[in-house]
C-alpha cells in the first residue's frame, strides 16, 4: 500500500535556526511529489513539485530536494512568518492521479 510519512510531527525553531523536514514515501512508481504550506484555519497552498530523484526547487528560505525514497524541505534562517504546517503528497501517475498525503509537520518559529 502506498504510504507517505512525515517527520517530525512538530518542530520548534528559534528564528535563524536552520533545519529540515522529512517526507518518506513508499510508492510503486513515483511520478510527482508535492509540498504544500497550510496556515491555521486555511487551505493548503502549493509550494513545490518534484518529479525525479536529484531534483531541487527553491523559493525564498525554502529548498525542496528529492531522492528515490524521501524528500526534504530545508528551511534556511527561518522567520516567524514561516510558522505553518507543511504537507507532503505523492502521485503515482495513475490513470486519474489521486494524491496521497502525509499528516504534515507543524513548524513553529519563535523570535
Partner 1 sequence: DVKVTQSSRYLVKRTGEKVFLECVQDMDHENMFWYRQDPGLGLRLIYFSYDVKMKEKGDIPEGYSVSREKKERFSLILESASTNQTSMYLCASSSSPAGSGYTFGSGTRLTVV
- Select 87 or 109, whichever has its Cβ closest to partner 1: 87
Is residue 6 within 8 Å of residue 103, measured between CB atoms? yes
Q: How far is CA 2 from the centre of its chain?
A: 17
Q: Does 102 bind partner 1 (CB under 8 A)?
A: yes
Instruction: Note whether 50 binds partner 1 by CB under 8 A.
Output: no
Segment near partner 1 (CB under 8 A); pick from 22-30, 31-39, 53-61, 66-74: 31-39
Q: Could you identify the residue written with the cell 525554502? A: 62
Contact 29, 41 (CB under 8 A): no
The residue assigned the cell 530523484 is 53
Positions in the binding site for partner 1 (CB under 8 A): 31-32, 34, 36, 41-46, 49, 87, 89, 91, 93-99, 101-104
Amino acid at each position: 500500500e502506498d504510504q507517505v510519512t512525515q517527520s517530525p510531527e512538530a518542530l520548534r525553531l528559534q528564528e535563524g535556526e536552520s533545519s529540515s523536514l522529512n517526507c518518506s514515501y513508499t510508492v510503486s512508481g513515483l511520478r510527482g511529489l508535492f509540498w504544500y504550506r497550510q496556515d491555521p484555519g486555511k487551505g493548503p497552498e502549493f509550494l513545490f513539485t518534484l518529479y525525479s530523484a536529484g531534483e531541487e526547487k527553491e523559493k525564498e528560505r525554502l529548498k525542496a530536494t528529492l531522492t528515490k525514497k524521501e524528500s526534504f524541505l530545508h528551511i534556511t534562517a527561518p522567520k516567524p512568518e514561516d510558522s505553518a504546517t507543511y504537507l507532503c503528497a505523492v502521485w503515482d501517475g495513475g490513470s486519474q492521479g489521486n494524491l496521497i498525503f502525509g499528516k504534515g509537520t507543524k513548524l513553529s518559529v519563535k523570535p
